[in-house]
Amino acid sequence: MLNDCLELDLNEMPYPPPDSVVEAARTSLESLNRYTEPRALNRLAGLLAEYAGVRREQIVLGPGSDLLLRELVLCFGAGRKVVMASPSFLATTEVARRFAGQLVSIRLSPPEFSLGREALLDELTEPSLVIIDNPNNPTGRLLLGREAAADILDHSDTLLVVDEAYFEFSGLTFAGLVQDHANLALSRTLDKAFSLAGARVGYLVAGQRFLDAFARFSSFLPQPSLQAAAEALREPGYMWRNVELVMKERERLRAELELLGATVYPSSANFLLFRSGAPDLVGVLQDQGILVLDLANQLGPGYVRVAVGTPEHNDAFLRAYQAAAQNHRERRAHD
Print the domain residue range for 284.
2-14+237-334
86 pLDDT tier (thresholds 50, 70, 90): very high
- Indicate if 116 and 159 belong to the same structural domain: yes
Domain count across the chain:
2
CA distance between the termini of the chain: 38
**pLDDT of the residue at 335:** 64
Under 8 Å between Cβ of 254 and 308:
no
Percentage with pLDDT > 90 across the chain: 87
- Rounded to a whole number of angstroms, the CA Rg of the chain reads 21
pLDDT tens figures, 100-144: 889 999 999 999 999 999 999 999 999 999 999 999 999 999 999
The three-state secondary structure class of 254 is: helix
Give pLDDT, residue 196. Answer: 98
Looking at the fold, whether 187 and 244 belong to one and the same domain comes out as no
Residue 19 burial (C-beta neighbours within 10 Å; 0-12, 13-18, 19+) = exposed
User: What average pLDDT does the structure give for the chain?
Assistant: 94
Q: Which of 200, 216, 234 is the last residue of a domain?
A: 234
| Full-model pTM | 0.95
Whether the pLDDT of residue 2 is over 50: the answer is no
Q: Are residues 222 and 145 in the same domain?
A: yes
Of the candidates 153, 85, 164, which has an alpha carbon nearest to the alpha carbon of residue 119? Answer: 85
108: domain CATH number? 3.40.640.10
pLDDT digits 0-9 by tens, 184-240: 999 999 999 999 999 999 999 999 999 988 877 777 799 999 999 999 999 899 999
Statement to judge: residues 46 and 138 lie in one domain: yes
* Interval 262-298: pLDDT, tens: 999 999 999 999 999 988 999 999 999 999 999 999 9
- Bridge-based pairing of strands 128-133 and 81-86 is parallel
Range with top average pLDDT, 31-35, 160-164, 323-327: 160-164
> Strands 102-107 and 6-7, how do they pair?
unpaired
- Burial class, 144, CB count within 10 angstroms (exposed 0-12 / middle 13-18 / buried 19+): buried
Checking if the pLDDT of 3 tops 60, the result is no
Indicate whether 66 and 145 sit together in one domain: yes
Both 152 and 183 in a single domain? yes
More confident residue, 161 or 4: 161
**Alpha helices (H) along the chain:** 19-28, 38-52, 65-76, 90-99, 117-122, 146-153, 167-170, 208-213, 223-234, 236-259, 281-287, 296-299, 311-334
Query: Do 96 and 225 belong together in one domain?
Result: yes
Q: What's the pLDDT tens digit per position in 47-57?
A: 999 999 999 99
306 neighbors 292 (Cβ within 8 angstroms)? yes
What are the C-alpha distances in Å from 83 to residues 73, 122, 174, 258, 263? Answer: 11, 11, 19, 34, 29
Checking if the pLDDT of 1 tops 50, the result is no
Residue 142 sits in the same domain as residue 83: yes
205 and 257 co-located in one domain = no
Domain harbouring 259, CATH code: 3.90.1150.10
